[in-house]
Copies of this chain bind each other. A is one copy, B any other.
Amino acid sequence: MLISKDDRLSFEKSKPGRRGARLPKQRLLESNALDLVPPSLKRKQPLLFPELTEPEVVRHFVNLSKKNFSIDTHFYPLGSCSMKYNPKINEWVAKLEQFAWTHPMQKDETLQGTLEILYELEQCLKEVTGMDRFTLQPAAGAHGELTGMMMVHAYHASRGEQKRRKVLVPDSSHGTNPATAALVGYEVVEIKSNPRGRVDLEDLKRHCHDETACLMLTNPNTLGLFEEQILEITKLIHGCGALLYYDGANMNALLGICRPGDMGFDIVHLNLHKTFSTPHGGGGPGAGPVGVKAKLIPFLPSMHIEKKGNHYEVVRDGQKSIGRVSAFLGNVGILIRAYVYIRTLGLSGLKQVSEDAIMNANYLKEKLKRIFPVAVDEPCMHEFVLTLQKLKTKGIHSGDVGKRLLDYGFHAPTVHFPLVVDEALMIEPTETESHETLDQFADAFRKIAQEIEEDPDLILKAPHTLPIRRPDEVRAARNPILTYRDLAGKDSPETASVR
């Protein structure tokens, strides 16, 4: 048995008196330090924490890790997520003591190495996007969006255009786009897609007016299609005095091919954890730097790194800045990784990223479209979307096919997204996968298509080879068990005894 069947929590493996770490014995005070804390300020509730030895803890987590799919073990063609290889040299550099053991409140003179990297990274991101300045503070794509929308607001406010309260988002947009606009207090207006999966220009026109604050656009969009009328779109939006926000989640398609800045976008966020190969970490951390055109520079978050001669300085920005968006400089460790990646690939390597990503996507699309129809059957960029509509009569949904793929050793594509495609499977192979892997993946699809004919139950009940079958999500939400105390019952003998 290679994968442990043990699904107990660390808490459930705990035994009183065990420890996993030894701390220094030395005490400097004559009295016990705890006596110095006024009793009214002390914790009364005993800490219900696991008690395990280091070997037990290590085995616990190593065995947990083995229950995961990951890029380093599986093909992971999750659309819109650019699950490309996370280079090991990135990790090596970011973990160097010289970077990892620096404090954010050190003086600039003592952080010249890190500041140099951040400065140079910004220069590269400007080149890649065609923007005039970047902030590196945002911690993720959505955080970048938020930063961007706050700038949109500050920009219009600075011009006395408070009435611009509407943000346009295509119906194919990612959920973070409308959620972000709403968080900043905007009214969200959904723009329709046309039959070719692009923004419906007529619908867009209807919503272009003096209350429009911004259009948030992903290009290539979440169907993996380039917005061919992008120049018309940006002209239209600018024409009505609104701003253009570029969701750069799909930038993996465009490195060295074309740039949002040249398309006319005013604000751009990048997901360094997608395009620039920093690891997803099981859900984060990422980094979502935001670039802007000159007119928006005054509104950028405070803190910008400038080079003066050979010296790097953190400059706090002025009056109009929206202020800080995170406690310190941002996810520096992630920013370092992204910079290493850029230096590893260089100019021609970056171009090759997008070219190979596009080739892989089109190649796989050709293979798969013989099995299931493509939502929009045209050349795609770095990803494409299948529609499994025709399976609905059999009671099979795209999510079911995703589950069955797990049995074949492939992570599921993004399922049921974008919302504009019925029964969507959104597939992004990335440039770091070989065509042999894509062929194997296509073979699995072919087999699944056959299974659907012969034994639909196999699909509906999949996966069959993993530590669990499908979890009952309704039950989870109806009676949420979110902590060990919830599980054990607050006053059960178990929690009591561990106390």
Which stretch, A55-63, A106-114, A161-169, touches the partner chain B? Answer: A55-63
Cβ–Cβ contact A62 & B58, under 8 A:
no
Cβ–Cβ contact A407 & B63, under 8 A:
no
Question: Contacts of A66 on B, CB cut-off 8 Å?
Answer: 2, 66, 73
Q: Closest Cβ of chain B: how far from A279's Cβ, in Å?
A: 12
CA distance A69 to B1 in the complex (A): 9
Contact for A4 among B56, B85, B409, CB less than 8 A = B409
CA distance A87 to B434 in the complex (A): 38
Closest to A466 in B: B2
Interface residues on A, range: 35 or more
Asked if A434 meets B73 with Cβ closer than 8 Å, knowing A2-B466, A409-B4, A409-B5, the reply is: no
With most chain B CB atoms within 10 A of its CB, the pick from A15, A53, A59, A71 is A59
Query: What would 14 A/B residue contacts be, using CB atoms closer than 8 Å?
Result: A1-B407, A1-B408, A1-B409, A1-B465, A2-B465, A4-B73, A13-B436, A58-B72, A58-B88, A59-B73, A62-B72, A62-B73, A66-B66, A66-B73
Cβ–Cβ contact A88 & B54, under 8 A:
yes
Judge if A406 is at the interface, Cβ distance under 8 Å.
yes
With most chain B CB atoms within 10 A of its CB, the pick from A55, A87, A436 is A55
Residue-wise interface mask of A (11-45) relative to B, using a CB-CB cutoff of 8 A (1 in contact, 0 not): 00101000000100000000000000000000000
Question: Contacts of A496 on B, CB cut-off 8 Å?
Answer: none
Contact for A434 among B15, B434, B436, CB less than 8 A = B15
Instruction: Please give me the 7 A-B residue pairs with the lowest Cβ-Cβ distance, nearest first.
Output: A55-B85, A1-B409, A55-B432, A62-B72, A1-B465, A2-B3, A62-B73
CA distance A4 to B75 in the complex (A): 11
Judge if A67 is at the interface, Cβ distance under 8 Å.
yes
Cβ–Cβ contact B69 & A2, under 8 A:
yes
> Which residues between 397 and 453 of chain A lie within 8 Å of chain B, taking CB atoms?
406-409, 432-434, 436
Residue-wise interface mask of A (64-94) relative to B, using a CB-CB cutoff of 8 A (1 in contact, 0 not): 0011010111000000000001011000000
Q: Closest Cβ of chain B: how far from A25's Cβ, in Å?
A: 11
Other contacts beyond A2-B69, A4-B73, A15-B434: 10, CB < 8 A: A1-B407, A1-B465, A2-B67, A2-B467, A5-B409, A22-B344, A54-B88, A55-B71, A55-B433, A56-B434
Q: Closest Cβ of chain B: how far from A111's Cβ, in Å?
A: 21
| A residues with CB within 8 A of B | 1-5, 13, 15, 22, 53-56, 58-59, 62-63, 66-67, 69, 71-73, 85, 87-88, 344, 406-409, 432-434, 436, 465-467
Closest to A56 in B: B434
Question: Contacts of A407 on B, CB cut-off 8 Å?
Answer: 1
CA distance A58 to B70 in the complex (A): 12
Cβ–Cβ contact A63 & B55, under 8 A:
no
Cβ–Cβ contact A59 & B87, under 8 A:
no
Question: Contacts of A408 on B, CB cut-off 8 Å?
Answer: 1
Question: Contacts of A466 on B, CB cut-off 8 Å?
Answer: 1-2
Q: Closest Cβ of chain B: how far from A382's Cβ, in Å?
A: 17
Asked if A1 meets B406 with Cβ closer than 8 Å, knowing A66-B73, A72-B62, the reply is: yes
CA distance A56 to B437 in the complex (A): 10
CA distance A54 to B66 in the complex (A): 22
Question: Contacts of A59 on B, CB cut-off 8 Å?
Answer: 71-73
CA distance A134 to B71 in the complex (A): 48
Contact for A85 among B58, B434, B436, CB less than 8 A = B58
CA distance A465 to B3 in the complex (A): 10
Q: Closest Cβ of chain B: how far from A81's Cβ, in Å?
A: 16
CA distance A85 to B60 in the complex (A): 13
CA distance A406 to B1 in the complex (A): 6
Closest to A59 in B: B72
Closest to A85 in B: B55
Question: Contacts of A58 on B, CB cut-off 8 Å?
Answer: 72, 85, 88
Closest to A345 in B: B22
Q: Closest Cβ of chain B: how far from A410's Cβ, in Å?
A: 9
CA distance A85 to B406 in the complex (A): 33
Closest to A405 in B: B1
CA distance A54 to B4 in the complex (A): 29
Closest to A70 in B: B62
CA distance A3 to B74 in the complex (A): 10
